[in-house]
Amino acid sequence: MNAKITKMNRIGIVFILILLVSFFSGCIDTPEDNQPKTDFTFTTLEGVQQNLSDFYGKIILVDLMAVNCQPCMYQMFELKKISENYSHDDVAILSIDVWIRLGETPELLLEYINAFQQQVNITLDWTFGVDDTVGSIEQIYAKNGVPTLYIFDTNGNIYYTKVGYEPYSTLKGKLDELLNS
């Protein structure tokens, strides 16, 4: 009986330790995670340099993606729903390919986007662009992979972030929270 109680005590202690570590690990910022997020510059498919701050005054949904990433392409369908259901005066959508570097030509991104639109018979009517030649956006905002989504409030503060595919319903909920606040 004592052996059974001791074994149960050890299991309980291990369980509590695991629970405490997982709970407190979410409260500790690593220096890397504590970096201040900054404005960034990207180049549109038309070759125009734009900044995130150019869109302040609107809620900004930033989709950091890669055209050769299958989950990123699925994300386009969810972003299309956002584009169709929210005023472009209220919500700006930016899809920025962080794997195609500016030096590798934005034309490649345009080719992929056009092929995707034709293949699935939808029109993507928001801003597309590419990261700079050294991957500045990827290094700060998409270091954990693509797709990575950010929602910025009208002042450019990060309101929500998600690494991986996110369904329309979740994005809609987050946008509605911001629009109604």
Side-chain-side CA neighbours of 159 within 13 Å: the count stands at 20
d(CA 168, CA 97): 20
> b/e string for 81-94 if b means 16 or more Cβ within 10 A?
ebbeebeeeebbbb
Q: Does the pTM exceed 0.85?
A: no
What values do phi and psi take at 144, rounded to 5? -95, 5
User: Rounded to the nearest 5 degrees, what angle is found at the Cα of 91, between the Cα atoms of 103 and 69?
Assistant: 40
Check residue 2 and give its pLDDT: 53
Q: In this model, does residue 23 exceed pLDDT 60?
A: no
Rank 2-6, 21-25, 69-73 by mean pLDDT and report only the highest.
69-73
Q: In this model, does residue 61 exceed pLDDT 60?
A: yes
Report which secondary-structure segment, H or E, holds 150: strand 148-152
Place of tokens 């390919």: 97
Cβ(137)–Cβ(60) below 8 Å: no
Residue ranges of domains in the chain: 1-33, 35-179
- Average per-residue pLDDT for the chain: 82
Check residue 45 and give its pLDDT: 85
pLDDT tens digits, 107-123 = 777 888 888 888 888 89
Stretch 129-135: mean pLDDT, rounded? 88
* CATH class of the domain comprising 35-179: alpha beta
Q: What are the residues facing 43 on neighbouring strands?
A: 49, 130
